[in-house]
Amino acid sequence: MSEHEYVPSSKAGKWFNDRLPLLSLGAHLSDYPTPKNLNYWWTFGGILTFCLITQIVTGIVLAMHYVAHADLAFESVEKIMRDVNYGWLIRYIHSNGASMFFLAVYIHIFRSLFFGSFKSPRELIWIIGMLIYILMMAAAFMGYVLPWGQMSFWGATVITNLFSAIPLVGESVVTWLWGGYSVDNPTLTRFFSLHYLIPFLILGLVVLHIWALHIPGNNNPVGIDIKKPSKDTVPFHPYITVKDIFALLMFMIIFAGFVFFSPNVLGHADNYIPANPLVTPAHIVPEWYLLPFYAILRSVPDKLGGVILMFGALFVLIILPWLDTSKVRSAVFRPMYRQFFWIFVVDVLALGYLGAMPAEGIYLFLARITTIYYFLHFIVILPALGFFEKTDPLPASISELVLTGGFSAVSARSDKIINEKK
């Protein structure tokens, strides 16, 4: 895997490394040639790793005090908040950490969409990333059920009920998920077990995600291929590590703002009411990071149709590398795609807002429009752009761009450069 042989400086190090090349791995990661023109949008991978570790550590600690039983769960969370030393802090870090995790993952995904990081040869990195995203949503959904508040219970009821839409076996599947005839204690205990498991599955996928990344190397803001190592790259440590740490500290300031000064603003007041199977809340809403999918789900009057469309929204994301036909990677050189990208951002934000509103009247109408546009973007616009868009000429190299602040077009046909570099 490494281009050069790393030799540890100490005898003990050499003994260890000969038997398990962890020190070589460390050297590989530390020396890893990274494009020197990466901007701050590239710091979110490191931020996401921090988020995952934070959630795992605080989660394991919370699990020392939480009781996964329908009669005791709500009370055990209150005990954590009131009696456990620093329990309030660990709990608020975990609940707000989930939101910060999704904020970072959305920025990370949109970075990839803008700069074409999902395009060949990085399709598998993108797909592994999508799997991580799906597991994140599953973990977050189940985690939200654990405090056993009104939203925990009714959110679980609504989402598990979706599976009854499956023809023939739907009802059996739901009963199987519930472990009973409604969301109840068996559902809670199994969600706790899976909620503990999934982050470690995510951890494994993150390792694969980074491994797959290190084959072609990082993409960069101008999206052109670079050789590594070269004058276009810098070693990961200390150049990228220090920048990642700086960006992480900025992120942590925002995180701390929520945890210490507004720890419940992203949540729902109804979840401080203990779960009551006899009383449905006026508006059942998932946490903010699931709202766009919720809006798509509710935009279809048919139950099965809504479920299919919701999973379809994920599916078009997964196959994105094959939908976007443009041979130019980065939106920096794709003036038309850039416009559509921002419209897409607004569309997703609108879907999120509409997901929080009641599914009626003007809200339902707009949710349908924005849902249709969402699919239009992936199925019609992106494939078409590859053929119709006139892209800007690409620079010959990153260094040229940095040196001159601009560049002269090397070739009249921009796609010719990429083909040659392949």
Partner 1 sequence: MKKNNLINLSVIILIITLFCGRAYSASKDILKIDWSFAGITGKFERDSLQRGYQVYKEVCASCHSMQYLSYRNLGQKGGPEFTLEEVKAIAASYEVEDGPNSDGDMFTRPARPSDHFVKPYPNVNAAIASNGGAYPPDMSVLVKARPGGANYIYSVLMGYEEKPADFDLDVGVYYNKYMDGNKIKMPSPLSDDLIEYTDGTNATQAQMAKDVTAFLTWAAEPHLEARHRTGTKVIIYLIILATLVYFSMKKIWSRVDAEK
Partner 2 sequence: MSKQENKQNRRDFLFTASYTVGAVGIGATIWPLIHQMNPDESVKALATTEVDISQVEPGKSITVLWRGKPIFIKRRTPQEIQEAKSVELKDLPDPQKDEERVKEGKNEWLVMVGVCTHLGCVPLKDKGDFNGWFCPCHGSHYDISGRVRKGPAPKNMEIPKYEFVDNNTIKIG
The reply to whether 82 sits near partner 2 by the rule CB under 8 A is yes
Q: Judged by CB under 8 A, does residue 84 bind partner 2?
A: yes
The dihedral over CA atoms of 389, 414, 212, 108, expressed in degrees to the nearest 10, equals -50
Q: Candidates 8, 56, 72, 78: give the one binding partner 1 (CB under 8 A).
A: 78
Binders of partner 1 among residues 316 to 375 (CB under 8 A) are 332, 338, 342, 345-346, 349, 353, 356
Residue 44 backbone dihedrals phi, psi, to 5 degrees: -75, -15
Question: Interface with partner 2 includes 90 (CB under 8 A)?
Answer: yes
SS (H, E, C) 295-344: HHHHCCCCHHHHHHHHHHHHHHHHCHHHHCCCCCCCHHHCHHHHHHHHHH
Question: Cβ distance 259 to 92 under 8 Å?
Answer: yes
Can you tell me whether residue 235 is helix, strand or coil? strand
Query: Which two structure tokens, joined as six digits, stand for 73?
Result: 């769960």
Q: Which of the choices partner 2, partner 1, none does residue 85 contact, using the CB cut-off of 5 to 8 A by kind?
A: partner 2
Per the CB < 8 A criterion, the answer to whether 233 and 226 are in contact is yes
* Residue 403 binding: pick among partner 2, partner 1, none (C-beta 5-8 Å cut-off by kind): partner 1
Cβ contacts of 196 within 8 Å, gap of 6 or more: 59, 63
The Cα–Cα gap between 154 and 162 comes to 13
Residues ≥6 apart with Cβ < 8 Å to 7: 14
Binding residue count for partner 1, defined by CB under 8 A: 42
Work out whether 36 is an interface residue with partner 1 (CB under 8 A). yes
- With binding defined as CB under 8 A, does residue 359 bind partner 2? no
Residue 409 binding partner 1, by CB under 8 A: no
Alpha helices in 116-178 (DSSP H): 123-145, 150-161, 170-178
Cβ atoms of residues 201 and 145 within 8 Å:
no
**Which listed option, partner 1, partner 2, none, makes contact with residue 418 (CB within 5 to 8 Å by class)?**
none
- For residue 239, the partner it binds in partner 2, partner 1, none, with Cβ less than 5 to 8 A by kind, is partner 1
> Interaction with partner 2 in 50-69: which residues (CB under 8 A)?
57, 61, 64-65
Q: Find the part of the chain contacting partner 2 (CB under 8 A) among 84-92, 203-211, 314-322, 395-403.
A: 84-92
- Identify the residue among 4, 11, 85, 390 touching partner 2 (CB under 8 A): 85
Contact footprint for partner 2 (CB under 8 A): 57, 61, 64-65, 79, 82-87, 89-90
Contact footprint for partner 1 (CB under 8 A): 36, 75, 78-79, 81-82, 88-89, 92, 231, 234, 238-239, 242-243, 245-246, 249-250, 252-253, 256-257, 259-261, 263-264, 269-270, 272-273, 282, 332, 338, 342, 345-346, 349, 353, 356, 403
